Amino acid sequence: MLVQPIMDNASLAGAFEEIATLKELQGEDGFRSQAYRNTARRLETLTQDAAELVRTGTIKDQISSLGKSQLEVLGQLVSQGSSDLLNDLRARTPPGHLQMLKIAGIGPKKVRALFQELGVTTLPELASACETGKVAALKGFGAKTQAKILEGIAFVTTSGQRVRLDQALFLATALLTRVREFPGVSRAELAGSVRRRRETVKDIDIVATAESPTELIAAFVSWPGVRSIAGQGETKASVVLEAESSTGRLSLGGRLTINADLRVVSPSQFPFALNYFTGSKEHNVLLRQRAQARGWRLNEYELEGHTEICTDEADIYKALGLAYVEPEMREGTGEDSAAEAGKLPSLVKSSDIRGVFHNHTTASDGADTLEAMALAARELGLEYLGIGDHSQSLTVANGLTPDRVRQQWNEIDALNARLKGITLLKGTECDILPDGSLDFDDALLAGFDYVVASVHTHFGQTREEMTERICRALEHPMVTMLGHATGRLLLRRDAYAVDLEAVMKTAARTGTMIEINANPMRLDLDWVHCRRARELGVLLVINPDAHSREELAYFTHGVDVARRAWLTAAEVYNTKSVQEVLADLALRRKQQPV
């Protein structure tokens, strides 16, 4: 039997991205490769299964810019798992050339020159060519370029990768504070993917106004934490920051290296610069096209041709006939037409969250006691705190036996009687065993207020096995919500193989919630699938998966994901009050007799 290759949207996007890059390296016209790159972006953010749309011949309804060539590539990728064009390009391009592109200041033209003039195909060969002075002698290169390439090779091989949002946000906020405190700075904001709250970012962007741009820029490049200066001009500076990484439970720690850019503009330019540098690139293109259609030109300084003054971003959107688009929605995925039609959702906010369900205590693998967690939750302004310690089979995490579960219930009852202003809920993070059954029997499960069901073992199952396993758990009447649906750890471990579309459809049918695991190492569901879940009518719930008091605040990262998925407060379960939640959970129990 022929096995159908599984090309999910991310794999298809990866293939198109690679085609675009390889075409550039082959010296093809930039607009041709851009066409493939645009398709990659659309595939990344497509909420439906692209392979299925290709099979049913309806993909062009979703990605209208597909022509004959790209449709053929898509068709081959879906039916064969590979594409003639991609294979051909790969065969003609040394793999080292892709790595060389990661060096700052090196683009496709320089890679080609290095290959044609010096025959360089790998990073070590490039390093050696630099060390022997051959690179500096090339036309268009020089001593400085050669030195930068050597630095770049060291940077690429040691770090220079994407950074988790929470880590970047921590540094970015500190940097922003310094900028705002600098004399003569009246406005300063974070921009770029940090402001849009992407789950991982490549650099930090700050836009500011200053009475003396030169002084601000000079100060910026000399602040503590700046390891090197990548560029310094009249209006912009670019530096490499180095700092101790945070050491959260799932973090590897170590040093963190990230680029930071500062742009200084005049007060009247500020809203345009902030908007431009917030992006995304795709969103900017949509705005520019709208400006063009009105006979204006939009750039990072002004809306040329438009006479009314814009003092903030909302004025720009208004001028373009749009409602204000929150940064998290600026991904070029239909926010322009929604804004034009006045159909943008009112996004959920962190202040809407009134409780959380998936948290651990010292009873399993948490760092803080039940009471300490309860007090910390109250301090955060939450009305309820659900405890979801691990279940018995997860011995590595000190999973609770039924006896210890009952003991915890007694402690919760006692604390609820004693503590004011916070209600503890009895939950469990119950393992989904390899066959899809649950780690506790139904009689015990019936005693909880709710059940979070999660996969922690046997990640190597086939996609079919894993999908069936999770769906079976969702069918279980006692399961309230699915924990971290894909098991991924950002920048560390890929998701296990699972058909999320099938999982989400099952959840929609059974009324089971899906968690947005807000631990910044996970953010699982991711925002794209979260948006699909919303389309399918799945109720979502934001959980910090806190293993300590401090980690309770992680729920804000989940709110960021929810906002990127266009979720309103009504579509997130834990915006309900404690009374509503208690009533709803009781109702769910009654409808599902054991």
Min CB(104)–DNA separation in Å: 5
- 51, 301, 553 from 54: Cα distances, Å: 5, 41, 42
Does position 111 bind DNA by CB under 7 A?
yes
Q: C-beta of 2: minimal distance to DNA in Å?
A: 28
- How far apart CA 528 and CA 531 sit, in angstroms, is 5
Please report whether residue 354 would count as binding DNA according to CB under 7 A. Answer: no
**Least distance from DNA to the Cβ atom of residue 11, Å:** 19
Strand-pair partners of 568: 347
Nearest distance from C-beta of residue 327 to DNA, angstroms:
14
Question: CA nearest 449: which of 466, 426, 428?
Answer: 426
Q: Closest distance between DNA and the C-beta of residue 312, in Å?
A: 21
Q: What is the DSSP-derived secondary structure letter of residue 363?
A: T
Structure tokens at 300: 């990072």
DSSP structure string for 516-572: EE--TTT-BS-HHHHHHHHHTT--EEEE--BSSSGGGGGHHHHHHHHHHTT-BGGGB
* Angstrom distance (rounded) from CA 340 to CA 325: 10
Q: Which stretch binds DNA (CB under 7 A): 136-144, 182-190, 322-330, 404-412?
A: 136-144
The only residue of 35, 165, 194, 572 in contact with DNA, by rule CB under 7 A: 35
Count of residues that interact with DNA, criterion CB under 7 A: 57
- Part in contact with DNA (CB under 7 A); list of ranges 31-39, 435-443, 460-468, 544-552: 31-39
CA dist 430 and 479 (Å) reads: 9
* Interacting residue with DNA among 45, 47, 70, 428 (CB under 7 A): 70
188: β partners: 208
Contacting range for DNA; rule: CB under 7 A; set: 98-106, 416-424, 468-476, 489-497: 98-106
**For DNA, which is the closer residue by CB, 146 or 423?**
146
CA 129 vs CA 1, 122, 124, 125: distances in Å = 51, 11, 9, 6
* Contact flags string 204-223 toward DNA, x per CB under 7 A: -x------------------
Q: Is residue 203 a contact partner of residue 171, using CB atoms and an 8 Å limit? A: no
Residues 167-206 interacting with DNA (rule: CB under 7 A) = 192, 202-203, 205
User: For residues 181 and 234, which CB has a smaller minimum distance to DNA in the complex?
Assistant: 234
142 lies in the binding site for DNA (CB under 7 A): yes
Among 41, 43, 59, 141, binds DNA (CB under 7 A): 141
CB-based contact 332:45 (threshold 8 Å): yes
CA pair distance 555, 541, nearest whole angstrom: 10
Q: How far is CA 162 from CA 18, 258, 348, 492, in A?
A: 18, 8, 27, 11
Q: Is 108 in the site for DNA (CB under 7 A)?
A: yes
Q: Does 109 bind DNA (CB under 7 A)?
A: yes
Q: By CB under 7 A, name the one of 144, 227, 255, 492 that touches DNA.
A: 144
Strand pairing partners for 206? 190, 262
Which member of 92, 133, 143, 351 binds DNA (CB under 7 A)?
Answer: 143
Backbone dihedral angles phi then psi of residue 354, each to the nearest 5 degrees: -115, -5
Rounded to the nearest whole angstrom, what is the least distance from the CB of residue 28 to DNA in the complex? 8
Strands 255-265 vs 226-232: parallel, antiparallel or unpaired: unpaired
Return the residues of window 36-55 that contact DNA according to CB under 7 A. Answer: 36
Which residue among 43, 50, 103, 376 contacts DNA (CB under 7 A)?
103
Per CB under 7 A, does 148 bind DNA? yes
- Confirm or reject binding of residue 90 to DNA (CB under 7 A): no
Tell whether residue 140 is a contact of DNA (CB under 7 A): yes
Interaction between residue 57 and DNA (CB under 7 A):
no
Tell me the longest C-alpha to C-alpha distance in the chain.
80
Q: Which stretch binds DNA (CB under 7 A): 27-35, 471-479, 480-488, 561-569?
A: 27-35
What DSSP character marks residue 399? Answer: P
Helices 108-118 and 9-25: crossing angle, nearest 10°?
50
- Is residue 236 involved in binding DNA (CB under 7 A)? yes
| CB 147, min distance to DNA, A | 8
User: Rg (Cα) of the chain, in Å, rounded?
Assistant: 26
User: Does 95 contact DNA by CB under 7 A?
Assistant: no
Per CB under 7 A, 118 contacts DNA: no
Can you tell me the distance from the alpha carbon of 572 to that of 515, in angstroms, rounded to the nearest whole number? 10
Half-sphere exposure of 476 (CA within 13 A, CB side): 31
| Residues in 240-259 at the binding interface with DNA, rule: CB under 7 A | 259
Cis peptide before 525 (omega within 30 of 0): yes
Shortest Cβ 281–DNA spacing (Å): 6
Backbone angles phi, psi at 189, to 5 degrees: -145, 155
Shortest distance, position 64 Cβ to DNA, whole Å: 5
Smallest distance from DNA to CB 157, Å: 16
> Rule CB under 7 A: is residue 133 a binding residue for DNA?
no
204 vs 262: CA distance, rounded Å: 8
Q: Judged by CB under 7 A, does residue 434 bind DNA?
A: no
* Shorter beta-carbon distance to DNA: residue 284 or 391: 284
Region binding DNA by CB under 7 A among candidate stretches 29-37, 248-256, 466-474, 501-509: 29-37
Q: Which is nearer to DNA, 138 or 446 (CB)?
A: 138
> What residues from 266 to 325 belong to the interface with DNA (CB under 7 A)?
277, 281, 284-285, 288-289, 292, 297, 299-301
- Tally of CB atoms within 10 A around 11: 16
Q: Is 93 in the site for DNA (CB under 7 A)?
A: no
Taking the C-alpha atoms of residue 227 and residue 259, their distance in angstroms, rounded to an integer, is: 10
> Shortest distance, CB of residue 227 to DNA, whole angstroms?
16
* Contact residues: DNA, CB under 7 A: 29, 31-32, 34-36, 64-71, 101, 103-111, 136, 139-146, 148, 192, 202-203, 205, 231-236, 259, 261, 277, 281, 284-285, 288-289, 292, 297, 299-301
